[in-house]
């Protein structure tokens, strides 16, 4: 499911009514169904899954990129409460990255240089083991990261403001206290900085609750 509302199955674009009918038929078969970014589907999709939960034979995997989605599935009024089990998939462990790259014949000394950058699969496309240079990777991703963070914020029904972006930049550079962050970005924001930074840091650390 794309952000634009397109439903893709292999190379086929499906309107939602067609997708819904196809899902109904697939649920009756002994197969595995994967729906990626399912939170972008209409809410009635969850009602459909609830309705067919008793006669379904399929193993259904719902993939989402938002923590708020998992929370909503576990709420009291969720149609899937007690039917689905949330599983969190984190970053790849460095040891697994090294083992996987070693099987590709990459020299050990190069493995140690590459491993920190490929824990996130999204970054792997920018890493060329044959001619790896850290500066190339940083240059490739530095303009994309703000957009990706903004997408995460939008998935969580939040807005990525300039202030949040500055806080994240300051934290990434090792500034861990409100005073240190305020000092780093004092040239960007004018009055009321320390109290604003304290609130922003608290909200980030507490999961924006």
52-104 confidence digits (pLDDT tens): 998 999 999 988 877 777 777 778 788 888 888 888 877 777 788 778 878 88
Would you say residue 209 has pLDDT above 50? no
Q: What whole-number distance in Å separates Cα of residue 192 and Cα of residue 172?
A: 22
At 32, the pLDDT band (50, 70, 90 cuts) reads very high
Which of 151, 112, 144 is closest to 129 using CA atoms?
112
pLDDT of residue 25: 92
Outline where DSSP puts E strands in 29-159.
32-36, 59-63
| Residue-range domain boundaries for the chain | 7-73, 94-128, 145-205
How would DSSP label each residue in 162-188? HHHHHHHHHHHTT--SHHHHHHHTTTT
Burial string for 43-73 (b: 16+ CB within 10 Å, else e) reads: eebbebbbeeeeebebebebebebeebeebb
pLDDT of residue 208: 47
In the chain, the percentage of residues whose pLDDT exceeds 70 is 72
Output 40 or 126, whichever has higher pLDDT.
Answer: 40
Instruction: Give residue-wise pLDDT tens across range 91-143.
Output: 777 788 778 878 888 888 888 777 777 777 677 777 776 677 777 777 777 76
């Amino acid at each position: 499911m794309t952000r634009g509302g397109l439903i893709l199955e292999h190379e086929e674009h499906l309107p939602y009514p067609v997708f819904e009918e196809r899902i109904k038929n697939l649920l009756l078969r002994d197969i595995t169904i994967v729906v990626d970014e399912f939170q972008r589907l209409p809410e009635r999709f969850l009602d459909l899954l609830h309705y067919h939960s008793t006669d379904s034979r399929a193993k259904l995997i719902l993939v989402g990129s938002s923590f708020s989605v998992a929370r909503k599935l576990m709420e009291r009024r969720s149609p899937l409460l007690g039917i689905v089990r949330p599983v969190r998939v984190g970053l790849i462990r460095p040891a697994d990255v090294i083992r996987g790259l070693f099987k590709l014949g990459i020299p050990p000394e190069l493995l140690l240089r590459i491993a920190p950058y490929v824990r996130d699969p999204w970054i792997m496309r920018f890493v060329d083991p044959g001619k790896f240079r850290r500066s190339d990777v940083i240059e490739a991703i530095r303009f994309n990261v703000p957009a990706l963070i903004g997408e995460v914020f939008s998935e969580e029904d939040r807005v990525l403001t300039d202030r949040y972006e500055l806080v994240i930049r300051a934290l990434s550079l090792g500034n861990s206290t409100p005073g240190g962050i305020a000092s780093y970005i004092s040239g960007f924001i004018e009055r009321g900085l320390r109290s604003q930074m304290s609130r922003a840091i608290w909200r980030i650390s507490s999961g924006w609750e």
